[in-house]
Amino acid sequence: MTALTEFQRLEAQGSWRETPDARLREVIVSVGEATLTLMDPKSDRPLSHWSLPAVARLNPGRLPALYTPHAGAADETVEIDDPLMIEAIERVQRAIASHRAVPGRLRGMLMALGVLAMLGGLVLWLPDALIRHAARIAPPAQARTIGLAVLSDLERSAGMVCRRTSGQQVLNWISPGLLGSDALVQVVPGPLNGARRLPGDLYVLGADLLTATPGPEASAGHLIAASMAETGRETTLNALRHAGLMASLRLMTLGTLPRAAMEGYGEAPLTEEAPRPDLAALPPAFAERGLSTEPYARSLDPTGATVLPLIEADPIRAGAAPARLLTDEQWLALQQICAG
């Protein structure tokens, strides 16, 4: 430090009292790198070493300056009237204090940066955490409301939900055995490249799947695959992530979504490939319902080349008893669900 270099080995006369009862004794006061040394002027023998950072002045602003080794006890003192020595002691003390304060400031800066990093992480983490919480606590009726909002947005591009009563009755009759008692299956005129699962156990089929296959098995397979590709909570979470934080907070507090919360989200099934479950998990699920995997597989790839494992694992080929999903009349009614 510049201050230490400038005053190193500076000496001056002083009067030292070792104890309160001792007489004053003339000494040579010498400034070292971080110490104040009191020496016998005759023999140059050190009498006392004081740590400069701890040295305290007992009479600030008065002369001669009176110093003690540390502020806690004034038993040992030295009087100095040399202005240069007094300035040296004070400047060296300030330099040492400033040098020691740097790590403290550095710690303060590091702590501040740490707090800012934590706040930044909280800002990034908290919105998604709240959205995930909203999806987790949404009751079935609320999840169904979200699903219907997604379906409403989908209708803008895929056409209005087909509502011919006879066809919807067939869907309502077949859905519990395929998807569970709470499932609701709807059909839209536009192509969907399969079936889609929406929040609230709501499923959507494209009418093209009904008219392009010889029987209901392919459509049933797509519904089963959609139910296995995503859980109900995942579909709700994905929808709420699209809606955003404020919409999710409103859902948690008021139980409703803003009117435009799902705008644009329902169109995704028209441009994106339907999520697929692990193919190895499908044959057991099909076998449980007495369904062949081949109609579903052929609807994905008519050549069968890319879905050969699914065809070879067909539970019906392995001897399982096939289920008759629908009568001819029911299948015809389902195919005509969009006829008006």
pLDDT band at 2 (very low <50, low <70, confident <90, very high): very low
Q: Are 175 and 183 in contact (CB under 8 A)?
A: yes
Mean pLDDT for the stretch of residues 141-164: 93
The string of DSSP letters for 279-328 reads GGGHHHHHHHTT--SHHHHHHH-TT-STTHHHHHT-TTTTTPPPP----H
> According to the model, what pLDDT value does residue 197 have?
95
Q: Is pTM, for the whole model, over 0.75?
A: no
Where are the chain's structural domains?
A: 2-91, 138-335
- DSSP code of residue 54: G
Backbone angles phi, psi at 267, to 5 degrees: -80, -15
Pairing of strands 46-51, 56-57: unpaired
Residue with tokens 């409703």: 256
Helix or strand run (H / E) with residue 97: helix 83-137
pLDDT per position as a tens digit, 171-227: 999 999 999 999 999 999 988 888 999 999 999 999 999 998 999 999 999 999 999
Residue 192: name the closest of 172, 211, 207 by CA.
Answer: 207
pLDDT per position as a tens digit, 268-315: 777 788 888 988 899 999 999 999 999 999 999 999 899 999 999 998
3, pLDDT greater than 60: no
Separation CA 135–CA 201 (nearest Å): 14
Pairing of strands 184-188, 202-206: parallel
Residue 12: name the closest of 46, 36, 34, 45 by CA.
Answer: 36
Task: Give whichever of 79-88, 116-125, 314-323 has the largest mean pLDDT.
Answer: 79-88
> According to the model, what pLDDT value does residue 123 have?
58
| Percent share of the chain, pLDDT over 90 | 44
Mean pLDDT for the stretch of residues 17-24: 85
Classify domain 2-91 at the CATH topology level.
PH-domain like (2.30.29)
Residue with tokens 């705008």: 263
Question: Residue 110 corresponds to which tokens in the numbers above?
Answer: 């590091």
Separation CA 51–CA 47 (nearest Å): 14
Instruction: Please count the helices (runs of H) and the strands (runs of E) in the chain.
Output: 13, 10
Coil, helix or strand at residue 139: coil
Helix or strand run (H / E) with residue 231: none
pLDDT per position as a tens digit, 31-85: 877 788 888 888 888 888 888 888 888 888 888 988 888 877 678 888 998 888 8
pLDDT per position as a tens digit, 228-261: 999 999 999 999 999 998 999 898 888 888 989 9
Sheet holding 184-188, edge to edge: 184-188, 202-206, 195-198
1, pLDDT greater than 50: no
Other C-beta atoms within 10 Å of 123: how many? Answer: 9
Q: What is the dihedral of CA 20, 25, 30, 34, to 10 degrees?
A: -20
